[in-house]
Amino acid sequence: MTEMAMVGLGRMGANMARRLASGGVKLALYNRSFQVAQLLAEETGAQACASFKDLVAALDTPRVVWLMLPAGEATGQAVDQLSALLEPGDVLVNGANAYYGESRRQAAKLAEAEIGYVDAGVSGGIWGLENGYALMVGGEKAVVARMERFLKVLAPAPDKGWLHCGPVGSGHFVKMIHNGIEYGMMQAFAEGFALMKGKQEFDLDLAAIAEMWRHGSVVRSWLLDLTAEFLSADQGLEAIEPFVSDSGEGRWTALEAVEQGVPAPVMSLALMMRFASQGHNDYPAKLLAMMRKGFGGHGVKPVLSDVEGEGT
């Protein structure tokens, strides 16, 4: 009896499959690289499938297929291909960090074929295998009820860490806001530790401070736990480039704030700081330097490589 399929066996998808298998769920696995599916199948006792057709055929009916693919084109293509193979009464779960509006459109399309749709926001990162995943789920009540067995295995405990948030789209909407809050919290920690590092006359031990804050402080959190861990090994971070990627979730949260007319300056500015770290502030900074030179005669700092080139 194969109860569920997992499509997309990257870091999150593979660990979710491992947690499900350890919880007794019989799985079919699919990945773009069949070898990845084979290796995980050998580890977990699941069934590796070489195509979507094989995957659907391997499942007992009514089928449940959970997608853990990158949001956007990859997920969209998989939804289209699977919708042609699944049958009325089957359920497709989109676990990507997807835009909630796109989830609603996908659900409406699948509803025409009487295929159930669940949008699942998944949080927990690489630690989810051990600690469980926070699951924010949207969909019709009857469809989500069919997913409860799997949600209870994936969550930190059967009665906590997962929630049916509301209709289709609500799961990905709540996950979007979750990530926006995450951006703000991360930025606040980063700025605070940078200020302490800059107060050189105090010679502050950042690792010791982070560890102390973990116990009894109002700012204690998992993010602080992680910060304390890496600071204990390296406070200077000299080998790390100051580049921070951003996902679509942060952008969608900022746009949602504009659309609702609700002020969300912390989350929006945290997103802007990520843009700045990616080099997108370089040209504006050059413009500022040239404007300052223009009105005040202030000097500008040339790029070092250009200075070196003048002598060659």
Active-site entry in 182, 197, 199, 293: 182
- pLDDT recorded at residue 271: 95
Distance between CA atoms of 272 and 266, rounded to whole angstroms? Answer: 10
Are 44 and 148 found together in one domain? yes
Residue 20 sits in a domain whose CATH number is 3.40.50.720
Of the residues 124, 143, 167, the one at which a domain ends: 167
Count of domains for the chain = 2
Say if 145 falls within a structural domain: yes
Say if 86 falls within a structural domain: yes
For residue 256, indicate whether it is catalytic: no
- pLDDT recorded at residue 267: 95
Of the residues 167, 200, 227, the one at which a domain ends: 167
Distance between CA atoms of 59 and 90, rounded to whole angstroms? Answer: 10
Are 257 and 139 found together in one domain? no
Say if 309 falls within a structural domain: no
Say if 258 falls within a structural domain: yes
Task: Find out whether 68 and 12 touch, Cβ atoms under 8 Å.
Answer: yes
The secondary element (H helix, E strand) that includes residue 149 is: helix 141-154
For residue 175, indicate whether it is catalytic: yes
Average pLDDT per 10 consecutive residues for the chain, totaling 312 residues = 94 97 97 97 97 97 96 95 97 96 97 97 94 97 97 97 98 97 96 96 97 97 96 94 90 96 96 94 92 91 64 40
Are 10 and 140 found together in one domain? yes
- pLDDT recorded at residue 247: 81
- Host domain of residue 53: 4-167
- pLDDT recorded at residue 310: 45
Active-site entry in 3, 26, 148, 175: 175
